[in-house]
Chains A and B, each alone.
Chain A
Amino acid sequence: MSKIIAAAAIRGAHACMDRAERMLADAVGRLGRDAQVGFEGTAYALPTILALTGRRVERLRDLEDAVAEAHGWIPSVPTDSTWLPYLGGTLDAGAATLVAHETVESLKPLGGIPLVSGFWLGPTPDSILREQGIKLVDGRMPGFAACVGALPDDETAEQIARDLQERNILVFMGSHTNGDTMAAQLNRRGVQMNWETFLVPYGPDTSSLVHAIGFACRAAMTFGGLKPGGLKEARDILLYNKRRVFAFALALGEVDDEKYATAAGAINFGFPVIADTDIPQILPSGICTYEHVVSNVPHKSMAARAVEVRGVKIRTVDIPIPVRHGPAFEGERVRKEDLAIEFGGKYTRAFEYLTSRPMDRIEDGLIRVVGPEIADAPEGGRLPLAIFIEVAGRKMQSEFESILERHVHSFLSEPMGVMHLGQRDSVWLRISRKARDAGFRISHLGTVLVHKLKNDFPAIVDKVQVTLFTDAADVDALYPTATAAYAYRDERMGALTDEAVDTFYSCALCQSYAPNHICIITPERLGLCGAYNWLDGKAAFEMNPHGGNQPVRKGEVVDPVLGQWKGVNDFVSTASNGAFERFSAYSMITDPMTSCGCFECIACVLPGTSGIMIVDREYPGQTPVGMTFSSLAELTGGGQQTPGFIGMGTLYVLSRQFLSGDGGLARLVWTTTKVKERLGDKLRARCSEIGHPDLYEKIADETVCTDLEPLIEHLAAVEHPALGLGEMI
């Protein structure tokens, strides 16, 4: 912590405490120790003091005890020769300052100074707390801002207030700068200030800001069920606020010692300080979720910056586009006759590319169309398109780029009258006339992406900016960067092997209907539904640590050929409630993984062929094992280990570890044309890699035969390599 801040805060704490003690002594002198003290309309006595000390102050004698305790928290001002540690002492001084502030505020009425006067509202009664505090706790209100001081002019004051209101953030105002206050500035602009407008002026003194803290403490005690008591209880209350009440302080104008001291108090609650002046910054996080003090923030971006620093997540319910949208419109086609404009397909170059950036490189919500807009193109015309999405997030990792990018398809399919097909550089996008006539523009594609990415991935995406290039020169200029990124990602995925990582991911999403089933997803074996690979598992855990995807440490190798690890076996045993003790990642014979019911394909051993067959879910006919997919599914599914039968994702066939414990790809003797076509050249390449370049042709499919006898003949005729491997069981 900056020594300058520490020294100032500790000085300020002493000053505030002196004043509180003087006022208290004066009140006791005039009214006696038994005189009652407290705020109106609350059952929490003096709430901040209650939360921090566990003392329920009702009379001046109680207040004396509380003040004496808090005074003991303040360290002496660090001298030039002392260096460390400041942090603990400064925070304690901050907490003491809050006690001093609440003391001062509570004594004001006893000295004839009303807390409520003019537009100043004074402390908040419990009835309002119950109505408004719950909104902070349940997330309807993303947070509150305590505005300290005043802005350079009335107009800026209104702008800041509006910026915060727009984000649904509750605004508390208190203290002053050079004799002016933000509330007075708003008042001069004719702005309504009350609990309905979320603009709440507490009082002109710095001490009045303690009412914001009292509000937060009461929210924790009421809705968090936290009981005040000693230090531990105080800590719980502070932590509750840090985690749920997304509040921050805006330090407006010069920051004096008392304001520093108050800020130190707020930091105890995890509420950071955003300043418009050049005060020393305290960036590394520790108490607050992210930074503690961020300075020199321009007024224009103050609200946005504050939201970012506090980690406030704002969800938009309605995406501001002129057409209806939702998953219901996802499958909708835009036909040629209804076409306003189209991009890509086989006509123009169109691609989408998402990349991550550092937080400060992105202007959140910025959407630009560079090149012609929809109105500039002829009816039914065609344009090239580059959808360039830049995201930033504190928890964003470059590995997640492809996952987010993959969602562009469903996002852009959701607006009514927009058709999106393909991905990466095979995009085909159409906008219908109806959508265009309703006011839909190319820029609205950006609007959808910004909102959807932030709403659906709040844990990893904090900021999004989208650029839509519709000019051939720009599109071509960006294209090499995009293709390089696609290639890099593919290469990374290819290099991601089971040996290279120490953690796999589990998926328990199917346990609801297949009790005890659990998928273990490794870089080289995707989930059997085909919808979840290792990266998805990793991202899902990052986004939702309590969800169905949990990290599984591999631990010691139990059997490298079968693909068994101690960590995996332990996990499986717990997750299956003891039903299974061992899982092989690479074998369908020894301890195979269980299968739920949503497998893309089934692989099963074909006795007499030394090989296996793979049948996909959509294949309706007979197979050489004498069963259709659906009868096989009954045998395979249900979350049991059935040696010789597994459910699998189609892409697993291409993995280096495809049943490597049982002989690998060379075992594949029969599959459906659909599987062969889907894997196509990649399967050919794998065949070559394992030293059987002509294997692809040797694998039979339903056009060759659907019975076992002719299959055995076929295998002999083509000299299928499986024949040389020996029977599997």
Chain B
Amino acid sequence: MTLTVKPKTWPGAIREVTLGAGSRQGLTIGGGKGLPLHTFEAAFPRRPLLALEITDVDPPRWVDTVRAPWDGALGRPDVAAKRAVEEYGADVVMLHLVGTHPDRGDRSPAEAVEATRQVLDAVGVPLIVKGPGGGSRQNDVLVRVAEECRGEGLVLHSAAQEDYKSLAAVTVAYGHVLVAESPIDLNIAKQLNILLSDANVDMDRVLIDPMTGGLGYGLEYSYSVMQRIRLAALGGDRMLNAPVICLVGEEAWKAKEVKVDGTPAAVWGDRARRGVQWEIATALPLLEAGADLLVLRHPEALAEVRRVVDGWFVAGS
């Protein structure tokens, strides 16, 4: 007996969004016309991109095992960016402006611009810039960076439902890409995109961050909301068909399991290895759920995820 697979065709497709412009070498993500990895029935013109996260100041909360590969580069964004791209092979760099958080250094918007400039000068790949997180400080910082780095097609991370207008305005004014973040909630994801397009943001310049839960810490929620978003997008929902970005490293390296040593954890094996595995194990399901852009922290995780992606997409671009 032969099994015949009847290919499913969808009315919708994922939008293509180009990251980076100006002095950047632009890269495009999205474009998938079927369920993630259903390469047997739909076209996937772009494979998912992998980014590495670097920071403006030495990030005190990073555990030693993920600090190791960045030795000598922590808090030196230009050095870290070069290493991420030239040595570790990242497609994209994410500069996390941790130091601008009022409790983690309280660095000024001007200093944030300075750090961003250093990275732009050091590498030519597209750049994601992540602010200190919600509230007025996030806007102060990202608005300044957006204004001063006009035309670079930065990916600004991120706008939220309560507070999207400032970043929407600078995305439009200065030609960037905006990440719309929603708390594992399809309705909010959709609503935020409606609001953004209402604020004249071109939907071809929007990414969805559905919020990532790390392995053991809500990964399945992220997985199912992404699934749901993808189904709606392929079904023709034009407010949910933006490519999806997942901040994997940040979540994976928060897990208790990557931090503890000693007796209870002894049977879990080498801690350094365990952290990398945790990051990989968080990343792969998210790719299966349709992530188009993953941000990782450990270069070994990136290398392994890259190997898997390459295997999946042999027939791809």
Of A139, A140, A509, the residue contacting B187 (CB under 8 A) is A509
Q: Is B23 an interface residue (CB 8 A)?
A: no
- Mark contacts of B151-189 with chain A using CB atoms, 8 A cut-off: 1 yes-contact digit, 0 otherwise: 000000000000001101110110000000000111100
B219 to chain A, nearest CB (A): 14
B235 near A578: Cβ-Cβ < 8 Å: yes
Sorted from nearest, which 3 A-B pairs have the closest CB atoms?
A138-B165, A223-B169, A225-B172
Chain A CB within 10 A, most for which of B139, B200, B201, B227: B200
Q: In the assembly, what is the distance between CA of A589 and CA of B187, in Å?
A: 29
- Chain A facing B: main interface SS: loop
Chain A, interface size: which category? 20 to 34
Residues of B within 8 A of A139 (CB): 165
Of B168, B187, B202, B225, the residue contacting A508 (CB under 8 A) is B187
Q: List 10 A-B contacts (CB under 8 A).
A: A134-B166, A134-B169, A137-B169, A224-B172, A225-B201, A226-B200, A509-B187, A512-B186, A512-B225, A515-B231
Residues of A within 8 A of B227 (CB): 515
Q: In the assembly, what is the distance between CA of A225 and CA of B232, in Å?
A: 28
Chain A CB within 10 A, most for which of B147, B165, B168: B165
Of A134, A240, A509, the residue contacting B170 (CB under 8 A) is A134
Q: Is A511 an interface residue (CB 8 A)?
A: yes
Q: Is A680 an interface residue (CB 8 A)?
A: no
A547 near B187: Cβ-Cβ < 8 Å: yes
A225 near B194: Cβ-Cβ < 8 Å: no
B165 near A137: Cβ-Cβ < 8 Å: yes
Q: Is B35 an interface residue (CB 8 A)?
A: no
Q: Is A546 an interface residue (CB 8 A)?
A: yes
Residues of A within 8 A of B95 (CB): none
Q: In the assembly, what is the distance between CA of A678 and CA of B1, in Å?
A: 61
A511 near B186: Cβ-Cβ < 8 Å: yes
Q: In the assembly, what is the distance between CA of A222 and CA of B169, in Å?
A: 8
Residues of A within 8 A of B200 (CB): 223-226, 240
Residues of A within 8 A of B191 (CB): 544, 546-548
Q: In the assembly, what is the distance between CA of A138 and CA of B165, in Å?
A: 4
- Mark contacts of B36-53 with chain A using CB atoms, 8 A cut-off: 1 yes-contact digit, 0 otherwise: 000000000000000000
A221 to chain B, nearest CB (A): 9
Q: Is B284 an interface residue (CB 8 A)?
A: no
Chain B CB within 10 A, most for which of A139, A140, A225, A547: A225
Q: In the assembly, what is the distance between CA of A509 and CA of B187, in Å?
A: 7
Q: In chain A between 510 and 555, which residues have their CB closer than 8 angstroms to a CB of chain B?
A: 511-513, 515, 544, 546-548
- Mark contacts of B184-216 with chain A using CB atoms, 8 A cut-off: 1 yes-contact digit, 0 otherwise: 111100010011000111100000000000000
B185 near A512: Cβ-Cβ < 8 Å: yes
Q: In the assembly, what is the distance between CA of A130 and CA of B146, in Å?
A: 11
Chain A CB within 10 A, most for which of B166, B201, B232: B166
Q: Is A577 an interface residue (CB 8 A)?
A: yes
B221 near A577: Cβ-Cβ < 8 Å: no
Chain B CB within 10 A, most for which of A509, A512, A577, A578: A512
A541 to chain B, nearest CB (A): 13
Q: In the assembly, what is the distance between CA of A578 and CA of B237, in Å?
A: 13
Q: In the assembly, what is the distance between CA of A577 and CA of B233, in Å?
A: 10
Quick one: given A222-B173, A508-B187, A512-B187, are A577 and B165 in contact (CB under 8 Å)?
no
A569 to chain B, nearest CB (A): 18
Of A137, A513, A548, the residue contacting B221 (CB under 8 A) is A513
By beta carbon, the residue of chain B nearest A226 is B200
B89 to chain A, nearest CB (A): 35
Q: In the assembly, what is the distance between CA of A17 and CA of B221, in Å?
A: 64
Q: In the assembly, what is the distance between CA of A695 and CA of B184, in Å?
A: 45
By beta carbon, the residue of chain B nearest A136 is B169
Residues of A within 8 A of B228 (CB): 511-512, 515
Quick one: given A224-B200, A511-B228, A513-B221, are A130 and B166 in contact (CB under 8 Å)?
no
A543 to chain B, nearest CB (A): 13
A42 to chain B, nearest CB (A): 14
Chain B CB within 10 A, most for which of A139, A513, A578: A513
Q: In the assembly, what is the distance between CA of A222 and CA of B168, in Å?
A: 11
- Mark contacts of A117-159 with chain B using CB atoms, 8 A cut-off: 1 yes-contact digit, 0 otherwise: 0000000000000100010011110000000000000000000
Q: In the assembly, what is the distance between CA of A548 and CA of B185, in Å?
A: 11
Q: In the assembly, what is the distance between CA of A222 and CA of B224, in Å?
A: 38
